Amino acid sequence: MMKKASILMIIGPLFLLGLYMFPLWNIMLGAPQYPEPLGMNIHIDGIQGVSEFDIQNIDGLNHYIGMRHLPKPEDMWEFSTFPLVIGGMVALGVLIGLLGFFGKVSYKWFLGWFVLMSVLGVLGMYDFNAWMVDYGTNLDPNAIMKLTNPDGSPMSYKPPLFGHAKMLNFDVTSLPHTGGYLMFVGMMLTVVAFFVGKKASQAIN
């Protein structure tokens, strides 16, 4: 049983490798004049357009409201750090799984990895949200269109972290993408590994 749990613990972190291929997150922007919505896929190493020229076109629209250009990979430390963190966590998770397989560590390490990964994930989301707040509110004072809320405060263009929001003429939808779902599945596997391992140790005791 502990072997089975360890195998799950080896496989789970490997799902995170999907983040190198698939986007973590996706934001779509639809509007009356964009029946085919513009979209951006957020990868761990940068932002890409859903269609080839979407980034250029989003930047083109954003310049009216004074938003900065969307960051290139070299513009944000996150895009060089995240791949290393993910790689490190995959390696660590697989190592814990292997050690568990050969009985060198207990199943509690599996949960430890999950908690660490969760903390990192929450930090990542916090960072992502902070960037969006900055990006959506820290606007060019000479912007072409300076819009205000009914209470007179400047309008913010921060996209939603999760779900849908109406921003001017755009419907903005922000959801996890394939890489994000794979990460979720991988992390859940490590939780399963923990419980299977726990059951195994209880059976032995």
Binding residues for another protein, per CB under 8 A?
A: 36, 52-53, 56-57, 60, 64, 144-145
Tell me how far, at minimum, the Cβ of 33 lies from another protein, in Å.
Answer: 9
Tell me how far, at minimum, the Cβ of 35 lies from another protein, in Å.
Answer: 9
Please identify, using beta-carbon distances, which residue of 122 and 145 lies nearer to another protein. 145
Tell me how far, at minimum, the Cβ of 60 lies from another protein, in Å.
Answer: 6
Tell me how far, at minimum, the Cβ of 63 lies from another protein, in Å.
Answer: 8
Please identify, using beta-carbon distances, which residue of 10 and 139 lies nearer to another protein. 139
Tell me how far, at minimum, the Cβ of 56 lies from another protein, in Å.
Answer: 6
Tokens found for residue 140: 């060019």
CB 144 within 8 A of CB 65: yes
Tell me how far, at minimum, the Cβ of 172 lies from another protein, in Å.
Answer: 18
Measured CA to CA in angstroms, residue 193 lies from 74, 78, 94 at distances of 37, 30, 12
Please identify, using beta-carbon distances, which residue of 30 and 112 lies nearer to another protein. 30
Measured CA to CA in angstroms, residue 112 lies from 62, 190, 204 at distances of 43, 10, 22
Instruction: Return the SS3 of 42.
Output: strand
Please identify, using beta-carbon distances, which residue of 62 and 173 lies nearer to another protein. 62
Tokens found for residue 2: 């502990």
Please identify, using beta-carbon distances, which residue of 64 and 162 lies nearer to another protein. 64
Give a three-class secondary structure readout of 165-201. Answer: EEECCEEEEEEECHHHHHHHHHHHHHHHHHHHHHHHH
Please identify, using beta-carbon distances, which residue of 144 and 204 lies nearer to another protein. 144
Residues 6+ apart with CB under 8 A from 173: 27, 28, 30, 160, 163, 164
